[in-house]
Structure 1
């Protein structure tokens, strides 16, 4: 019984709402011939200008002594037209790059007693057996890796990769 009453009550509310909507639509359509507008647009308001600069009312009083009085002002116009001495350009001497092709790392062997690596190096066609720290002429073996060696020759250092000997 309670459900029936609420259903009738809600149905009546729906009918009232729809009838008001339909009445508004028809009244707006039928009143289109009159001179008075149905709704008037609000007048545009001028935007508030936050960025307006207030007038400057301060005055600068420059009646104090120069704090840097020891430095005299320099006349820059007179110094602009003074001739400058010519610039001497020194020729750049380039040192030719050193070719490391005369040194080849062809392999290594392991000393069974000391377990150290001994590098086999070709220097100008002569085969040398060198371990780390050895010095042969001006060639010094700094570090021996399995795939390369680090050598010092005439004060320059370089890594030389492993290249097997060609017959």
Structure 2
């Protein structure tokens, strides 16, 4: 083959390839509006769920390592003890002691008010249990407390 002939064949091949590429580009640019086809949608209906079988694991009472049968453990019911709320005494000051024959009287300041009480006397849930010239013992809502001068 001659050199000129090869050049013409290659030139023809290049022209054919470029014409195909150009035709595709031209066809893409001048395509116009495409026809839109309507898509028919089916109404969605979910499948009915099947009820699943429940399985339980069987317990074996025999210990595989020791070969002994385990006794079922008894449940221990523990009772919760409620803690008593701390009793808050009113503000009390022991001021003095008066002894008259067989009576013992105690001078107390309770919440700023001065009162004279004797043994087993109650004032505002506050009971005088015992006392002497140095201290007095009082009971308030089940709790006993001593107050000194």
TM over 0.5: no
**Greater Rg over alpha carbons, structure:** 2
Q: TM-score range by the shorter chain?
A: 0.3 to 0.5
Higher helix share: 1
- Provide the TM-score with structure 2 as the length reference: 0.44
- Provide the TM-score with structure 1 as the length reference: 0.40
Higher strand share: 2
